[in-house]
Homo-oligomer: A and B are copies of this chain.
Amino acid sequence: MTSQAADGPETVAATRRSKITPEREREFFDAVLEQIRECGYESVTMEGVAASTRCSKSTLYRQWKTKPQFVAAALRASRRVRFAGIDTGSLAEDLRQAARAAGDWSGKDTRLLQALGHAWTADKELAEALREALVNPEIAALQEMLARGVARGEVRADHPALEYIPAMMFGVLRVRPVLSGQYADADYLARFVEATVLPALGLTQDPGRRSRDD
């Protein structure tokens, strides 16, 4: 409903109903998400988005009925699989690479999630768009990663830590700003995975140090 011209960046539908190209739409979406990150969802105004993209408020309201619908559309359009394609053949190495990959976009996405604040708990459409864009793809990628490790026999299928790995990874991303005032970067995440995730899964392959060697 939002963008009917989804068949390509240049080829537009025969009877064009909007002059908004997909590139232009992306500009709107990027602008509103960036303003949410900087000012918080409640403080973002349609006027502000219109001004920063040099379009008119009417143009925005012609495409999207209300501000939450606009933001939800922007969220859905920002859906990207961040660390897909990680498949090193080793679960530990997969998780290490996932940590480094997550560190690269953690700032933007963590800030966005934080800035959405209470809005997504109140608006069903926002919540759904949020999960669809930021949460579900990453969870699915992580679980595929874990499933491959199980299939290779690196971890038992009934290992109790398995179901908590996503919560560990995204939890530390989300809580770091509250605890230490800074976002989790790739290095921090890599150390976290090494120190907690891999040991919890029994994947500590470092022979130099055992946990209970005293």
Say yes or no: A118-B192 contact (C-beta < 8 A), given A179-B135, A200-B200: no
In the complex, A152→B142 CA distance in Å?
37
Whether, in the assembled complex, A174 has its beta carbon less than 8 Å from a beta carbon of chain B, the answer is yes
In the complex, A118→B176 CA distance in Å?
15
In the complex, A188→B2 CA distance in Å?
39
Contacts of A195 in B (CB 8 A): 160-161, 163-164, 200
- Copy tally for this chain in the complex stands at 2
In the complex, A67→B135 CA distance in Å?
33
In the complex, A166→B176 CA distance in Å?
10
Whether, in the assembled complex, A26 has its beta carbon less than 8 Å from a beta carbon of chain B, the answer is no
Query: Told that A40-B42, A115-B117, A174-B174 touch, could you supply 4 new A-B pairs with CB distance under 8 A?
Result: A117-B118, A117-B119, A168-B168, A175-B175
Contacts of A201 in B (CB 8 A): 211
Task: Give the Cβ gap from A111 to chain B, nearest Cβ, in Å.
Answer: 8
Which of B39, B160, B200 meets A118, CB within 8 Å? B39
Which of B122, B130, B161, B175 meets A196, CB within 8 Å? B161
Seen from chain A, the residues whose Cβ lies within 8 Å of a Cβ on chain B are 39-43, 113-119, 121-122, 130-131, 135, 139, 153, 156, 159-161, 163-164, 166-168, 170-179, 191-192, 194-197, 199-202, 210-212, 214
Structural contact, B40 and A160, CB atoms closer than 8 A? no
Structural contact, B167 and A118, CB atoms closer than 8 A? no
Contacts of A176 in B (CB 8 A): 167, 171
The chain B residue sitting closest to A211, CB to CB, is B202
Structural contact, A199 and B161, CB atoms closer than 8 A? yes
Structural contact, A168 and B153, CB atoms closer than 8 A? no
Task: Give the Cβ gap from A141 to chain B, nearest Cβ, in Å.
Answer: 14
